[in-house]
Structures are given as structure tokens and as C-alpha cells.
Amino acid sequence: MTDTTQPSEWQRRIAGEWHGRPSLFDATGTWQGYEDIRRSSDFVDGVTTYYMDGGLEGGGPMAGRFRLGAPFAFGVVDSDANRVYTGPDFYGTGQPYGSFVDSHYYGPGWQVDLNTWNQVLADDDVQVYSSMLYQGPAVVGCFNGLYTRDPAKVADWLAAETRNGPVPHILPTKTPGAFSGTCEVFGADQKPRGTVDVTVEVEPLDLLRARHHVTWSGALDRRHTVEVRRDGFRSFYEGPEAWGNAQAYGRANYSSLHFRDVWKLKGREFMIDATPGMSAGKTMAVAYELFDGNVLSAVVHGVLRWS
């Protein structure tokens, strides 16, 4: 429950019923099935309640854990600082950074710890969603997909998510080019710090390796070059100016990079328009968290397009 009389900015941003068909992946990145979900939240007399109704199709050995026996519902202490999830179906907190929220919570029904990233895109009718699922520190699996709240789009949207959900995240492997766009920057205090122009220049070396020249300019000024090697759903960043690895779950690639200085980066790069039969998508929704040592310093999110 909350004692405020008006919903928070984030609560207003996610008003309505969202429809999606996120895919379920196991810890290795192997596709398992679909989760048909309708998500909504309401703010009535100062009280916010979140609802999730649907079910799992497929799931393989994960089906017993992630099939819903009943719709989920849980209370939320509504705030643009800390959104507190008060149960009974989820317990934890979420922190909004403009149109992006980073949530950490536990689901007793699924018996997993979750880290959910929700990114509402500029047109306000598309939400890029992912939930990493944990047993202690070990990854159990991942749900991710795209949601819409436009009733006129739902049927075609769900059909597209059925086609595209299992498609793996692969960047262009023969054609050089660049993903670029303007992203919003928020400090760890959740206050806006301006914008940053992001360019990821891709220089293919062979079908599994590429050199990335990354430039950030504006509210953050950084640049690095790194050689990226893909091995199935896994990627490895092998210097000379950044080191780390990544794991892809369908269209979403989750990376962890370490630089020559004290900076570290955790990111999600979601290929929005990847479809079966295409070598790669052309539009990526990106979200990055930057750390000064082990301390969160900034959150960056936006959309990059290939040219």
C-alpha cells in the first residue's frame, strides 16, 4: 500500500494492459517455450496492485516450475525512488531510471530470484522485457520478449513474437557498418544527466569474429575497441581495450565488460526486428549499467539503428 494520492511517473508510464508472448530459455540459452502473459497494474485510492495472468506453452524440463497455477497479483509501494513489491506473489524492489526500471525480487510460486529489466520505448506502446531467473547465484533461465498495450496490434504482435522469440542474437557477419543512436543517461541517484550519442562500429573479421569500435559522446565520453568472438549463444570480448563475456537468450545479449580503468559495464542488447531467415536485425534496444569499481555510477538506455 502507499499513502500517496497520485501515481508515480513510472506508474503512469506503464498504465494499461500489456500483451506479450515472451520466450523461456534455459541457462545455456536454449529456447524452451512461450509464456502467454497479460500484465497490468492499477492505482485505486492510493493503492497500487500489479496483475499477471497467463500460462506457459512448452517449457521442457522447466515446465513444472514455471507453469502458473493461478494468476499472479501483488501489492506495490508506488514510488519513483524505490518501488517495493509487497507480495504475496512477488517480494522485492525496483528502481526506475526514466523509462527503464531495474527490479530485483523473489517469486515464491516460481521459486526463483528474479532480475527484471523493463524498457518502455519512446512511442510508449512498446516494452522491452527480460527476467533473469536465479537459484542463489546460479542462472536457472531467462524470460524475454516484447510487449504492446495497443489493442489493435495484439493479434499480429503475438504472432510475430511466436516467430521471432527463438531467433538468436547475431550481429552482421559480412557487412561492415555501425549501430548508432542517442541514449538517455541517469545517475545512480535516478536523476537525469542528459544524453549520450552511442556508436558501435562493427568490423567483421570472419563469420564468428568482429572488431567493435565503440564511441560514447555527450553526458558520458568514452571510447574503446574490442575484438568479439561468438561461440554459439556465448560471446567473448578479448581486448585490446575491454575484456569480458556475454550470454545470449534469443534476441537479447547480456554482456559483462571490464575496461583498462576502474569502469565496468553490464548490458542488455535486444535485437527488436530480428526474424527467422534474416542474417541479423537492424534495430537494437540497449540498456547499460556502468560501475565505478563496484559502485553503480550511471544507467544508459535507448535505441540504436544500423547503417
Q: Report the pLDDT value the prediction gives residue 279, as an integer from 0 to 100.
A: 61
Q: Report the pLDDT value the prediction gives residue 68, as an integer from 0 to 100.
A: 79
What does 87-147 look like in DSSP terms, one character per residue? EES-EEEEEEETTEEEEEEEETTTTEEEEEEEEE-TTSSEEEEEEEEEETTEEEEEEEEEE
Q: Report the pLDDT value the prediction gives residue 133, as an integer from 0 to 100.
A: 98
Q: Report the pLDDT value the prediction gives residue 280, as an integer from 0 to 100.
A: 74
Model pTM?
A: 0.95
Q: At a CB cut-off of 8 Å and minimum separation 6, what does 250 contact?
A: 23, 25, 29, 31, 144, 165, 166, 167, 168, 169
Domains and CATH numbers, the chain: 9-164 (2.40.128.20), 177-306 (2.40.128.20)
Q: Which helix (H) or strand (E) holds 154?
A: helix 154-164
Q: Report the pLDDT value the prediction gives residue 112, as an integer from 0 to 100.
A: 97
Q: Report the pLDDT value the prediction gives residue 31, as an integer from 0 to 100.
A: 98
Q: From residue 229, give the alpha-carbon distance in Å to each of 37, 268, 271.
A: 35, 17, 18
Q: Report the pLDDT value the prediction gives residue 21, as an integer from 0 to 100.
A: 97
Residue ranges in the chain modelled with pLDDT below 70? 1-4, 278-279
Nearest to 288 by CA among 82, 127, 119, 142: 119
Tell me how far apart the alpha carbons of residues 30 and 199 are, in angstroms, rounded to a whole number.
30
Q: How many residues does the chain have?
A: 307
Q: At a CB cut-off of 8 Å and minimum separation 6, what does 152 contact?
A: none
Q: From residue 93, give the alpha-carbon distance in Å to each of 5, 81, 84, 87, 295.
A: 21, 10, 4, 11, 18
Give the cell for residue 222.
Answer: 568514452
Per residue in 85-118, pLDDT (tens digit) is 999 999 999 999 999 999 999 999 999 999 999 9
Residue type, 228: V
Instruction: Measure the CA angle with vertex 267, ends 194 and 263; round to 5°.
Output: 70
Q: From residue 174, give the alpha-carbon distance in Å to each of 46, 94, 216.
A: 55, 40, 24
Nearest to 174 by CA among 146, 140, 203: 203
Q: Report the pLDDT value the prediction gives residue 3, as an integer from 0 to 100.
A: 45
Q: Report the pLDDT value the prediction gives residue 1, as an integer from 0 to 100.
A: 37
Widest CA span of the chain, in angstroms? 59
Per the CB < 8 A criterion, the answer to whether 299 and 185 are in contact is yes
- Strand-pair partners of 15: none
Q: Which helix (H) or strand (E) holds 164?
A: helix 154-164
Tell me how far apart the alpha carbons of residues 258 and 239 are, in angstroms, rounded to a whole number.
10
